[in-house]
Amino acid sequence: MRILRFIFATDRRQSSPSISPFLATGICGRYLSSSAAASTSDNQEKSSSSSKANSKGTQSSGGSQQSGSDAGKPVRGGPVSWLSFLLLLATGMGIIFYYDKEKKRHIEEISNASKAVKEGPSAGKAAIGGPFSLINHDDKPVTEKDFLGKWTMIYFGFTHCPDICPDELQKLAAAVDKIKEKAGIEIVPVFISVDPERDTTEQVREYVKEFHAKLIGLTGTSDEIKKVARAYRVYYMKTAEEDSDYLVDHSIVMYLMDPNMEFVKFFGKNSDVDSLTDGVIKEIKQRKLKR
């Protein structure tokens, strides 16, 4: 028995040291493992924080670069654009003002000339009218001498006129018929084009026959039209030109000329068929009484 107790005691003393290193190793291993895991976690957090910081820095840098690049671009609606707009607006208003001023001046000249003729023989020759050389709608040359011995009504317009010219020519045609019916006076209606570029003799021929059988259409070169328009104090100007499509603004006046092709009176747009008819008859009768 003593021998067995000794052996057992010896085995216990010998086996205790062998277990302690194992336990120590296990405890240390766990400690080292948890320390390493904590260190790894800290490193990951630091790396993540650093990545986020770098990302924010990159975005900030990109934003700065974008702002820098945008700063070099021209801003729409800046001072230069407004200045150009104002200059264009001022130019347009200046053209409109000049256009209206010229139109009023020509109308005033016509009115003054008409008054000067009516004041008496001391006024001399009429300031409206004069010699001209044009081509009629039958391609024959015509001058003012071809109308001597006839009472004549002259209207200036153009065949592409959308509304005013047709209205005025219809009024003229109706008045010519009514004057003959009421007073037995023959009036020769004449249409002179202020658009020589488009109003050829063929174009004028097709145009005048739509209004009256006796309406005579006249056209000519640009210089010839300028000359006759100047003689009759007629204002005309191209407007809204786009390629070959444009309008011509012009004086809306009918001129009554006596058998000597001297100016008697003009009738404006405000005259209707009846007032035009009565006005022409009145002027012709007064002229006949004076003779």
* Amino acid 84: pLDDT: 78
* Amino acid 109: pLDDT: 58
Domains and CATH numbers, the chain: 105-119+126-290 (3.40.30.10)
CA geometry: angle at 158 spanning 156 and 160, to 5°? 160
* Amino acid 117: pLDDT: 41
Q: What is the rounded CA–CA span in Å between residue 174 and residue 170?
A: 6
116 or 274, which is more confident?
274
How large is the average pLDDT for residues 257-280?
Answer: 95
* Amino acid 89: pLDDT: 81
* Amino acid 111: pLDDT: 53
> Which residue matches tokens 């007032």?
275
How large is the average pLDDT for residues 272-277?
Answer: 96
206 pLDDT tier (thresholds 50, 70, 90): very high
Percent of the chain at pLDDT above 90?
52
- Under DSSP, is residue 268 helix (H, G, I), strand (E, B) or coil? strand
Residue 9: HSE in the Cβ half-sphere, 13 Å Cα cutoff: 6
Which two tokens mark 232?
């009759």
pTM to 2 decimal places: 0.60
Amino acid at 149: G
* Amino acid 277: pLDDT: 97
Binding residues: 161, 165, 250
Which two tokens mark 182?
């009421």
* Amino acid 103: pLDDT: 63
Report whether pLDDT(74) > 90.
no
Report whether pLDDT(90) > 70.
yes
50-54, 167-171, 194-198: the lowest-pLDDT one: 50-54
Which two tokens mark 242?
């786009």
Report whether pLDDT(63) > 90.
no
How large is the average pLDDT for residues 103-123?
Answer: 50
- Under DSSP, is residue 163 helix (H, G, I), strand (E, B) or coil? coil
22 pLDDT tier (thresholds 50, 70, 90): very low
262 or 99, which is more confident?
262
264 pLDDT tier (thresholds 50, 70, 90): very high
Percent of the chain at pLDDT above 70?
60
Q: What is the rounded CA–CA span in Å between residue 278 and residue 256?
A: 13
> Which residue matches tokens 């001209």?
132
Binding residues for Cu cation: 161, 165, 250
Report whether pLDDT(286) > 70.
yes
Q: What is the rounded CA–CA span in Å between residue 230 and residue 251?
A: 12
Q: Give per-residue pLDDT as tens, 208-233.
A: 999 999 999 999 999 999 999 999 99
22-31, 203-212, 252-261: the lowest-pLDDT one: 22-31
Mean pLDDT, the chain, rounded, equals 75
Residues in the chain: 291
10-14, 110-114, 177-181, 254-258: the lowest-pLDDT one: 10-14
